[in-house]
Amino acid sequence: MNNHTRRTVLQLSAAILALTPFGAMAQSAPLKIGIVGSGRLGGTVGTLWAQAGHKVFFSSRHPDELKPLIEKAGANAQGGSVEQAIAFGDVILVAVPYSAAGGRPR
Q: What is the pLDDT of residues 44-88, one digit of tens each?
A: 999 999 999 999 999 998 999 999 999 999 999 999 999 999 999
Q: What is the pLDDT of residues 8-45, one digit of tens each?
A: 777 676 666 665 665 555 556 899 999 999 999 999 99
Q: What is the pLDDT of residues 87-99, one digit of tens each?
A: 999 999 999 887 7
User: Where do the domains of the chain lie, and which CATH numbers do they carry?
Assistant: 3-101 (3.40.50.720)
Q: How far apart are alpha carbons 101 and 76 in whole angstroms? A: 27
No. of helices (H) and no. of strands (E), the chain: 5, 4
Q: How far apart are alpha carbons 104 and 97 in whole angstroms? A: 10
Q: How far apart are alpha carbons 71 and 69 in whole angstroms? A: 5
Cα angle at 70 between 23 and 76, to 5 degrees? Answer: 50
Q: What's the predicted TM-score (pTM) here? A: 0.71
Instruction: Tell me if 73 sits within 8 A of 46, measured CB to CB.
Output: yes
